Chain A
Amino acid sequence: MASIAAVGRAFPPNYYDQDTLLAAFRTHWATRHFNLDRLEALHRNVLVGGRHLALPMEDYAKLTGFGAANGAWIEVAQEVGEAAVRAALAEAGLTPADVDALFFVTVTGVATPSIDARLINRLGLPARVKRVPIFGLGCVGGAAGLARAADYLKAFPDHVAVLLSVELCSLTLQRDDLSVPNLIASGLFGDGGAAVVLGGRRRDLPGPRVLATRSIFYPDTEGVMGWEVTDGGFKIVLSAEVPDMARRFLRHDVDAFLADHGLTRDRISTWVAHPGGPKVLLAMTEALELQEDALEPAWRSLREVGNMSSTSVLLILQDTLRRRPAAGGYGVIVAMGPGFCSELVLVRW
């Protein structure tokens, strides 16, 4: 079974606290909305304290359309992606020459050649590297990317796979869209990237083992979350049902997954959860009947850097690894995203 040897992270250098961002948003909102205090309360309710942005704040007004925003995404995604992969490889004690496969997940920009291809040049990865760019999984992409990389390593147990997630959510923000979903998104989502180095069974790299993975798709829930692709770019689709999905499905799905591996929820020492937002984290805590502080690393990540879509769960995995969970204990990595769907990864620390 695959092992998770290291996680690296990288952020664009522009960090803004929520008050600074709010001041700029209030000026913009005033062009259409009357009760700005209500919108500010909506922003504050997501409990994000600050976020990294791909560009300096003043540069966003210059992005006149999808081409300009996506062009900036391609530039910054390469920088953030390169830094995250270098950090993860260094942490694992490996070099670019050791990498056999590169999985790249994102939902915030498109490129051909894809970012993984461009990183072969920038990082000096071997020409043999198998690339798997994955677009469109959204918030579930970090956990699903880990699962797909672990699946790959079953077939190639002597290989090293790198999963890279880069999300520059701020470059998808539609300035003219002053709907409630976009107002929530503009308060919640941040930018950055994370990379995970995984080794196949025969590589025997140190680190937690991926014991099993599970994908769960919820039929006929396409409208819960996603993008509407417009001339201006990616416009957020976000329904109030997202926390309900966790409340309705997660306990049953986690229990069934664990039961197939002879486990129950009380045997899980550590939960690594994607921080969709406060309502989602509360719904997960409730659905899984967890202690109030069980998802604290997810809450902290949400406060410090916002929801970074597929990247977030990997940051929380890194924080969890740094706290060195007791060896031999079990952990579950859990995320939900557009589809609507869940991805579960069972690990042994």
Chain B
Amino acid sequence: MTDAAILAGIADVAREHLEWPGPVRPEMRLVEELRLDSIKLLTLAIELENRFRIRLDEEDESAIVTVGDLVAAIRRRLVDRGPWTADRGPEGLDPEGSR
């Protein structure tokens, strides 16, 4: 998956779940510019995990300041995870790419 596709996914999640109407750019800071408090940061993490079928851990999260950091963390987790197969996820979740 390209960084542009990951960024587009982040923008979708921000619009659907964080009521963020504007553009999302790599240099934007999550707390200061996207105005994410602790509940919104958690919402972002949960919804990105749902969308990309990955698990972000504390190590990832403590180093994330900007949207670009988030893109890089998601890219790393996607590489670790390997290609998605529908039978590896929890029941009821759509396989990646179906959205």
- Which residues of A are at the interface with B, using a C-beta cutoff of 8 A? 30-39, 42, 179-181, 184, 238-241
**Bound complex: CA A32 to CA B45 (Å):** 14
For B40, the chain A residues whose CB sits under 8 A away are: 240
A sample of 13 cross-chain residue pairs with beta-carbon separation below 8 angstroms, ordered by A number, consists of: A30-B90, A31-B91, A31-B92, A33-B50, A34-B53, A34-B54, A35-B49, A35-B55, A37-B55, A38-B49, A179-B43, A238-B39, A239-B39
Candidates A34, A184, A239; contact of B37 at CB < 8 Å: A239
The answer to whether A180 and B37 have CB atoms under 8 Å apart is: no
Within the complex, which residue of B42, B50, B55 is in contact with A180, where a contact is CB–CB below 8 Å?
B42
**Alpha-carbon distance between A180 and B39 when the two chains are bound, in angstroms:** 7
In the complex the two chains form, what is the Cα distance from A238 to B40 in whole Å?
11
Contact A241 B92, beta carbon cutoff 8 Å:
no
Q: Please tell me if the beta carbons of A240 and B39 are within 8 angstroms of each other in the complex.
A: yes
| Given A30-B90, A240-B37; 5 other pairs, CB 8 A cutoff | A32-B93, A34-B54, A37-B55, A39-B46, A181-B39
- CB contacts under 8 Å to A, within B23-48, are 37-40, 42-43, 45-46
Is the beta-carbon distance between B39 and A34 smaller than 8 angstroms?
no
A180 to B54 Cα, complex, angstroms: 18
Q: Are A30 and B92 in contact (CB under 8 A)?
A: yes
Which among B43, B49, B90, B91 has the greatest number of chain A C-beta atoms within 10 A? Answer: B90
B98 to chain A, nearest CB (A): 14
In the assembled complex, the CB of A238 is this many whole angstroms from the nearest CB of chain B, namely 7
Chain B 61-96: CB-based contact to A (< 8 A → 1; otherwise 0):
000000000000000000000000000011111000
The minimal Cβ–Cβ distance linking B23 to chain A, given in whole angstroms, is: 24
Which residues in B have their C-beta under 8 angstroms from that of A34? 49-50, 53-55, 89-90, 93
Contacts of A38 in B (CB 8 A): 45-46, 49, 55
Q: Are B46 and A180 in contact (CB under 8 A)?
A: yes
Taking the closest CB of chain A, its distance from the CB of B79, in whole angstroms, is: 17
Is B93 a contact partner of A42 (Cβ separation < 8 A)? no
A129–B56 Cα distance when bound, in Å, is 59
* Residue of B with least CB distance to A244: B37
The docked-state distance in angstroms from the alpha carbon of A35 to that of B56 is 9
Residue in B closest to A242 when the chains form the complex, CB atoms: B39
User: Closest chain B residue to A241 by CB distance?
Assistant: B37
A36 and B90 contacting across the interface, CB-CB below 8 Å? yes
Whether B39 contacts A32 by the Cβ 8 Å rule is no
- Name which residue of chain A comes closest to B53, CB basis: A34
Instruction: Report chain A residues within 8 Å CB of B92.
Output: 30-32
**Neighbouring A residues of B56 by C-beta, 8 Å:** 35
Residue of A whose beta carbon sits closest to that of B41 = A240
Nearest chain B CB to A241 CB, angstrom units: 7
A39 to B50, CA, bound (A): 12
> Given the complex of chains A and B, what is the CA–CA distance between A32 and B17 in angstroms?
14
Residues on B with C-beta less than 8 A from A36 are: 90
What CA separation (Å) do A181 and B43 show in the bound complex?
9
Report whether B90 and A42 are in contact in the complex, using a CB–CB cutoff of 8 Å. no
Chain B residues with CB below 8 A from A179, complex form: 17, 43
Cα–Cα distance between A180 and B93 once the two chains are bound (Å): 19
| Residue from the set B39, B40, B89, B92 with the largest chain A CB neighbour count within 10 Å | B39
In the assembled complex, the Cα of A317 lies from the Cα of B90 at a distance in Å of 45
A34 to B37, CA, bound (A): 22
Bound together, the chains give a CA A50 to CA B18 distance in angstroms of: 31
A33 contacts across to B, CB distance below 8 A: 46, 49-50, 90
Residues of A within 8 A of B45 (CB): 38
Nearest residue (CB) in A for B44 is A180
Nearest first, the 10 closest Cβ-Cβ pairs linking A and B are A240-B37, A35-B49, A240-B39, A240-B38, A30-B90, A31-B92, A34-B50, A180-B43, A34-B49, A35-B55
CB-CB < 8 A to B53: which residues of A? 34
Smallest CB separation, B44 vs chain A (Å) = 10
- Contact among A30, A39, A184 for B91, CB-based, below 8 A: A30
Note all chain A residues with C-beta closer than 8 A to B46.
33, 35, 38-39, 180
